[in-house]
Amino acid sequence: MLLILRYNKDSMIVCRKCSQTFKPNSNSQKDCIICTTANCKQCGISFRFKPVAEKGWFCSKKCFDKSRIGTLAWNSNTAKPYTKCIDCKETTSSTKTIRCQDCRKIAMKLNPPNPNGCPKKENHWNWKGGITSINKSIRMSLDYEEWRTKVFERDLYTCQICFEIGGYLQADHIKPFSLYPELRFELLNGQTLCFNCHKIKTLEDWKLYKFNRRGDNLRR
């Protein structure tokens, strides 16, 4: 025979820790509020921790992260030391950043972000002197993204070789990107291709380029 025990609001139970009687809020509560309340070691605010834990130390993960600032990880023999902020000279919470979180916010206010939402070049907090290649910086720019979108819209998102509609499409330069820098953002020099057709077309372009280059060397 199966017995179903229902929760009674007027029932009183004994706390497992302090042995005092109290009125539980639910059927799963076994400890009183006093035994499950503690003060955060970082901010000092009182909070309730889970009954599974014997003691409560921090009210949130944010306070726990703040308490770890300036301390090494558990594998301190191989861990890198935390960096110091270049502005306030205090220890940061990372081994790579050059500014702490507060100084980073101040730097963002002094150097307001661009329309993309992030400051550029030396105004960025993680600027490393310009190590990104020219090819990558052009392909990640807004001008290149606008050119790519215009090519797709003009061709109605259809491959111009196999006429596949949709799928994994790519914007191809009819005249190669590296050989004709003046035509990189020319709309007439772009066409929509699928992944397979773009791969075949790129190989053919490089074969023609190598053949023409070999012929020029033989003429010399």
- Span 32-58, pLDDT tens digits: 877 878 888 888 888 777 755 555 678
Give the least confident one: 60-69, 135-144, 152-161.
60-69
State the pLDDT confidence band at 10, using cuts at 50, 70 and 90. low
pLDDT at 127: 74
Question: What own/partner pairs with CB < 8 Å and gap ≥ 24 does 197-205 have?
Answer: 197/159, 197/161, 197/162, 198/170, 198/172, 201/161, 201/172, 202/172, 205/176
Q: Which residues contact 148 (CB under 8 A, 6 or more apart)?
A: 171, 190
Over pLDDT 70: what percentage of the chain? 77
For the entire predicted model, the pTM comes to 0.42
pLDDT at 153: 93
Q: Contact 219/211 with Cβ under 8 angstroms?
A: no
Q: Tell me which of 174 and 35 has the higher pLDDT.
A: 174
What the block records as the tokens of 103 is 């100084």
